Amino acid sequence: MKRLWPNSLVGQLLLVVALILLLAQGINSFLLYRGAQNQNLVEASTSAVARIVYGFERPASDRAAPRRTGKRSRRWGQLKYSPESAVGDDMRRLPELEARAGQAFANMGIGFSDIRATSIRDLTTDMTGYVIGANRGEWRNDPINRSMGGDQSTPETKGFVIISAQLANGQWVSIASAVRERTPLLVRTLLFQTFTIYLLMLIPLILLGRYISRPLKSLTARAQSFQPGTTETLEEQGPPDTRELIRAFNDMSGRVTRMIEEKDVMLGAIGHDLRTPLAALRVRVESVEDEAERERMVAGIEDMNSMLEDILSLARLGRSTEQSDPVDIRSLIETVVDEFTDLGHEVRYQRGDKQIAAVRETLVRRALRNLIGNATLYGKAADISVEKSGSSLLIHVDDDGPGIPEEKIAAMFEPFLRGDASRNRATGGSGLGLTLARAIARDHGGDIILKNRENGGLRATLILPVG
C-alpha cells in the first residue's frame, strides 16, 4: 500500500481526489438506490390501492362473490377476502405506505378500520392468484408460467407489496402487487460516472497542482543549495501562501547573509587584534633568561596561536575563497607525510595508483595533517593507505596507539574535547583538530570516520567524493 502512495504533491492530490470522488459517488448511488427502491414500493402500492378502490366501486357481487376466473379479474388479479389479514402481525410493516393508502381510500370515500402494508421477497402461497402487476406480458404469454400458474416472480420482479384493509365487518381485503425494478444501478455505471468526472477534473487538478508545487520545488532547490552571500532572491510565484513563504525565505537568507558578513568582519578583527598582542608577547618572551621557562612560555603562545588558527579556520569554513581543483591525492598525502617525517615522526605511505579528487588543497591538507597529527600523538607510528570505494576515495590513517572506547568515538568530534581526559597541555593540540578535519571533509561532501582496528590502534578514515 505504501508503495502505491505517490510522493509528489500533485500525485497525492490526484489520488486523494480520486478516492474522495469514488466515496462521494458511492454514497450518492446508495441514496439514489434507496430512493428508487422506495419509489418502486410506492408505485406498486398505488396499483394495489387502485385495485381495491376499483373493487369497492363495482357491484356488490364482485365483492361478495369474487369470480375465480375471468379475463379482467385475472389480469388485474383478484381481491382476497379473509378473516385474517394477509399481513400477519409478525411481518415488518411499512407505515409510509399505510399512510398513503389510508389517504387514498379516504379521498375516494372508502373507510377501513385498519390498513396494513408490507413488502415481501417471495410470494406466499396463500396470496397466489391475488397478484397484480408483475410482468404482465411475459407472465401472461409464458406457457410455463401459465401452466404452472405458480411462480409469479419474473426476472424483473423484485418482491411484492401487500396491502391489506379491514372492512367494517372485521373481514380483511388483501391484494399483492409486484414491485418492478425500474432503475438498475450497477457498479459499472458508478465507476463509469466517477471516471468521467475524474477525467474532467484531472487537467485542472494537474494544472493547479503544478501551480502550487512548482514554486515549492524551486524553493526547495534554493534552500538546499543555499550559499550565504548570494544576494540573488527567488522570484515570488504561485498562490499567495507560497508567495509569502518565498518572501519570508528571501528575507531569511538576507538575514543569514548579513549575519555571516558581520561574523566575518568580527573574525577578521579578532584575528588581527589577538595576533598582534600575541606577537608582542612572543617577542618579549625572548628576554626571559631562564631557558626552560622561556621554552614553556613559547609553547604556550604557540598553543594559543594554533587554537586561534583552528577557530578562525572553522568559522571561515564554507566561505573559503579557494576553489576546488582536481588534485592527485598521492602528491597531497606525500606533502603532508613529508612534513611529519621532517619532524622525526614515523609516518609511512606507499605511493599507489593515481587518484584524482576535486578538492580545496590547503583545506584537505589541513584535515589530513590533523588526522596524522593525532595518530603520531597517540601512537608511535602512522600508516597511510588509500582505497577507492564506489564514488568515494578513502584515505586511512592507522595508528598503533590505544584506540578509543567505542562509546566515546562520537564525542571525539566535539570541539575542545581530547582523547585524554586530563587535558594535559603537554600533549598539545587545540582540541579542535578533529572537529575542523570533519568540517573540512563535510564541506567537500565527504566525512571522517573513526574506528578501532582489530589488532589495536585507531583507524581514522577521510572520505572524499571523486568525480
Q: For residue 338, state whether it binds another protein (rule: CB under 8 A).
A: yes
Find the binder of another protein among 210, 243, 275, 451 (CB under 8 A).
275
Name the grid cell of 214: 512548482
Binds another protein by CB under 8 A, chosen from 126, 295, 322, 420: 322
CB within 8 A of 188, min separation 6: which ones?
none
User: With binding defined as CB under 8 A, does residue 276 bind another protein?
Assistant: yes
Tell me: does residue 289 bind another protein (CB under 8 A).
Answer: no
Under rule CB under 8 A, how many of the chain's residues touch another protein?
A: 37
Of 120 and 281, the one with the shorter C-beta distance to another protein is 281
Closer residue to another protein in complex, CB, 266/279 = 279
Nearer to another protein, 222 or 275 (CB): 275
Report in angstroms how near the CB of residue 334 gets to another protein at its nearest.
7
Does the footprint of another protein cover residue 335 (CB under 8 A)?
Answer: yes
> Does 292 sit near another protein (CB under 8 A)?
no
Residues 6+ apart with CB under 8 A from 313: 366, 436
Q: What number of helices (H) and strands (E) belong to the chain?
A: 12, 12
How do beta strands 392-399 and 80-82 pair? unpaired
By CB under 8 A, what part of segment 348-387 binds another protein?
Answer: 351, 354, 356, 361-362, 365
Place of cell 396499483: 47
Interface with another protein, residue 331, by CB under 8 A: yes
Select from 231, 91, 105, 237 the least CA-distant residue to 166.
105
* Residue 296 touches another protein, criterion: CB under 8 A: no
Q: Of 184-192, 253-261, 275-283, 438-446, which part binds another protein (CB under 8 A)?
A: 275-283
272 binds another protein (CB under 8 A): yes
Q: Which stretch binds another protein (CB under 8 A): 60-68, 128-136, 185-193, 318-326?
A: 318-326
State the minimum distance, in angstroms, from the CB of residue 231 to another protein.
22
CB 102, CB 111: distance < 8 Å = no
Nearest to 51 by CA among 170, 161, 171: 161
Among 281, 307, 394, 417, binds another protein (CB under 8 A): 281
Stretch that binds another protein, among 99-107, 194-202, 232-240, 283-291 (CB under 8 A): 283-291
**Please, is 29 exposed, middle or buried when counting C-beta atoms within 10 Å of its C-beta (0-12, 13-18, 19+)?**
middle
CB under 8 A: which stretch of 19-27, 158-166, 181-189, 270-278 binds another protein? Answer: 270-278
C-alpha 449: how far from chain center: 33
322-331 burial: b if 16+ Cβ within 10 Å, else e: eeeeebebbe
Q: Which residue, 142 or 334, has its beta carbon nearer to another protein? A: 334
Contact between 287 and another protein by CB under 8 A: the answer reads: yes
Among 59, 83, 137, 277, interactor with another protein by CB under 8 A: 277
Is residue 91 a contact point for another protein (CB under 8 A)?
no
Q: How far is CA 163 from CA 75, 105, 108, in A?
A: 18, 12, 16
Nearer to another protein among residue 222 and residue 282 (C-beta):
282
266 binds another protein (CB under 8 A): no
Counting other chains too, the contacts that 211-220 makes at CB distance below 8 Å and 24 or more residues apart are 211/238, 211/239, 212/9, 212/238, 212/239, 212/242, 213/8, 213/9, 213/10, 214/238, 215/242, 215/243, 215/246, 216/9, 216/242, 216/245, 219/245, 219/246, 219/249
Determine the straight-line distance between the first and last CA of the chain, rounded to whole angstroms: 38
Min dist. Cβ of residue 412 to another protein (A)? 26
* DSSP letter assigned to residue 386: E
Phi, psi of 383, rounded to the nearest 5 degrees: -120, 130
**Counting contacts by CB under 8 A, is residue 293 touching another protein?**
no
The residues binding another protein (CB under 8 A) are: 271-272, 275-284, 286-287, 298, 301, 305, 309, 312, 321-322, 325-328, 331-332, 334-335, 338-339, 351, 354, 356, 361-362, 365
